[in-house]
Structure 1
């Protein structure tokens, strides 16, 4: 074959190869096109994560019972440029379900309330749609503020004056708090939202609800001529008391015995301690009357005091040292480094001269103090006494001082040998008293409003223990010097005067105290108004 024939043959072969490849490629592309055509297209949902601000007003027009939260809701959305808060591109956020679960279990926080439009929200959330729904969005925002206002803030601060509660309340931005929850929903269960006492009361609340669920406790009936039960006595009433104290955990078992023996005596002492009674083993009608307080009333008392805990700043216990006086328990506790270093009985104001619920900063201790009599006492007590006895002032170691009356220092002084000042407009302070016998009484509401301390010397020594100048010997001398001596504290000490009728101690036992100023019913009524 010559060269021309060879070249022509190679050319034909190349064309054949090109044709075959062309056909193959065409077939491949056609097959791929068929594959694409046979594969259904995915439906891509597109939506914006913001909404028209005018829809907020439309929402409240439709659901007016939620108008209380409008200001907070609008503030939150203005901060977020009216973006959806409870949705992202993946759908409804986990925090939304956490809030929904919380509002369905408000009773666990000691709150009994009816949720407005809850049926509507239930229906909306059951749809579980990924696409944002404006009604669901705004419902969740309103219920978020409903939840935090009820469980974290408590009743509106404007009602505090009605309750005569002037302790500083904790402050928190619940708009800012939501930002944290959206990142980590578990923060909602943090036990740093309230003071520790809140969570202790919450535990006891569940315990008492369990008792109520089982039927509560029966009222203990006693004969009309009943006077007392003493160790060694035997009666059916003793057996009933044993059952009653078994229900609240004061005694380990209910043996059914009618003998008032050792085990029951110890249980009675524990019960008396928890209820502010004198610690003896004799059972009197007043003790049985206290046992007969219905379980429902005890639960209400716990819930009321959980509410009070909501008002207390959580950083209270973080101070290096502070003093707390609880009016209903007639007791003072002095804390240092988180531990109680002194507990003392106190005398507080009468129902006519109530000790004010407030806080201050102790700045001075005054040894051998003058008592500067208040204008009210001068008008209502001193002047009428002078009319009856012209020697009244001299007989009571008193004198006129620039138009006012004051009592000179000394053992007969009404303030005793020392007073502790934390300047305040209520003119209330802690002080000693010559009337020591008052501390043996169960009810100790006898003062004009100031707080008398059973252990003033111990308190002064502990406050000044880090001051080398004020040795115990120098303190004792100053207290008996009969000349007023002022000591300025190097560091001021916070003093909190509170009002708690239920309190869980370090052993986990619930203590109930008499509502001496009748504040529980007033607060309970406010909580009902909040529903």
Structure 2
């Protein structure tokens, strides 16, 4: 972080981009195009380290396309090499904003609990990714879906202890009140059509759960790290949502893109489990709880800037507005 911060502080003194926004004369730019805007974009990608050549020609060639894709990947954009409105918006953000973003996230790193376990899981909310580390080395990246702005995923840490195959979904009372009761009034067969049942509560506020199966909102497996927020990792039947670039769709829990792989990884040292037994357990009519032989720390974090395993500086959108709140405390006291 510190090296990148020093580079951007130096660039801020040299370049006055705040008053020179780049505009496109076309809807987008791609390889083979020529435009005056390409000269300015090349300069910025050179300063940011994505473009090796200090080239200010207006031509979009193969080397420039590779630089564009590197930039897009670092910012969580689709790395298709096409320069459009979204990429241009990131390029037009001031160097000063990026400097503040780095400083804010350096502060967040200071707040992280000390990691003493050899294996741990980190979910980075703005990145929409779950990372598994062993001995500080990245083992696997998995796409996740996090809470919406209105139902934001909580930042905290816990220890993953249980895997529940073919789970029931015990619908939170808030969802019962806001969504299910109105739906039941409109359609008396709503519960049956959605494989749901009442298992307690009162007539005015029933306790409702969804039965195990392919249509269950938790999918075929969930991963529990007991906490006060009722947040956990789980599968989902809506697989297509993982293809979205921005994946804040849930009520607060974290949907996992590769749940079967995660289950097999967590049970890798348990000889009673393999890919076949896991698949079978995920397709039962009754839920099955498995206690891990050793708990694994899970950190739910919120980093909009970080240096990855390849030494590249990444940035993401402040999807919950946490950066703005920290900025007010750090820079405007």
TM-score (norm: length of structure 2): 0.95
Who wins on radius of gyration, i.e. which is larger?
1
**Aligned match for 2:130, one of 332, 350, 373:** 332
Q: Which residue of 1 aligns with 2:77?
A: 277
- 1:503 and 2:306 matched: yes
Aligned to 2:162: 364
Shift of 1:216: 4.8
Other structure's SS at 2:126 match: coil
| 1:242 aligns with one of 42, 47, 59 | 42
The structure showing larger relative contact order (alpha-carbon pairs under 8 Å, at least 6 residues apart) is 2
Corresponding residue to 2:174 among 370, 376, 380: 376
Supply the distance in 2 between the matched residues of 1:482 and 1:226 (Cα, whole angstroms). Answer: 55
Deviation of 1:226 (Å): 3.3
Deviations 1:144-177 (A, max 9, x none): xxxxxxxxxxxxxxxxxxxxxxxxxxxxxxxxxx
Deviation, 1:230, is 2.1
Distance 2:90 2:131 in 1: 26
Q: CA deviation at 1:367?
A: 0.7
Given the alignment of the two structures, is residue 253 of structure 1 paired with residue 53 of structure 2, yes or no? Answer: yes
CA distance in 1, matches of 2:23, 2:136: 45
Residues of 1 paired with 2:283 and 2:313: CA distance? 41
Equivalent position of 2:265 in the other structure:
462
> Shift of residue 205 of structure 1?
0.7
**Structure 2: segments with no counterpart, 5+ residues:** 202-206
Shift of the alpha carbon at 1:436? 1.1
Q: Distance in 2 between matches of 1:419 and 1:436?
A: 15
Partner of 2:208: 405
Give the conservation status (yes or no) of the 8 Å contact 1:342–1:459.
Answer: no
Alignment of 1:506-521 (within 5 A): 506-521=309-324
C-alpha spacing 1:265/1:518, structure 2 compared with 1 (3 Å): same
Question: Cα distance, 1:255 vs. partner?
Answer: 2.0
What is the aligned counterpart of 2:90 among 290, 295, 300? 290
Q: What do the CA deviations read for 1:329-382 (whole angstroms, capped 9, x no partner)?
A: 111001122222211011000111010000111110001111110000000000
Aligned to 2:233: 430
Q: Is the 8 A contact 2:143 2:257 kept in 1?
A: yes
Shift of 1:270: 0.6
Give how far 1:203 is off: 1.6
The equivalent residue for 2:190 is 392
Cα distance in 2 between the residues matched to 1:269 and 1:221: 18
Question: 1:226 pairs with 17, 26, 30, which one?
Answer: 26
Distance 1:436 1:207 in 2: 41
Offset, 1:217: 3.6
Aligned match of 2:12: 212
Alignment of 1:63-212 (within 5 A): 201-212=1-12
Shift of 1:243: 1.4
- Compare the two structures and name the one with the higher helix fraction: 1
SS state of the match for residue 152, structure 2?
A: coil
Partner of 2:204: none
C-alpha root-mean-square deviation of aligned residues, in Å?
1.4
Question: How far did 1:529 drift?
Answer: 5.5
Q: Distance in 1 between matches of 2:237 and 2:16?
A: 46
What number of residue pairs does the alignment pair up? Answer: 327
- Preserved CA contact (<8 Å) 1:220 1:240: no
Secondary structure class of the residue paired with 1:406 = strand
Q: Do structure 1's residue 476 and structure 2's residue 279 form an aligned pair?
A: yes
Counterpart in the other structure of 2:121: 323
Deviation (angstroms), 1:253: 0.6
Q: Which of the two has greater strand per residue?
A: 2
Take 2:281 and 2:29, find their aligned partners in 1: how far apart are those partners? 48
Deviations 1:168-208 (A, max 9, x none): xxxxxxxxxxxxxxxxxxxxxxxxxxxxxxxxx11211111
TM-score (norm 1): 0.60
| 1:344 and 2:148 aligned | no
CA contact (8 A) 1:431 1:452 kept: yes
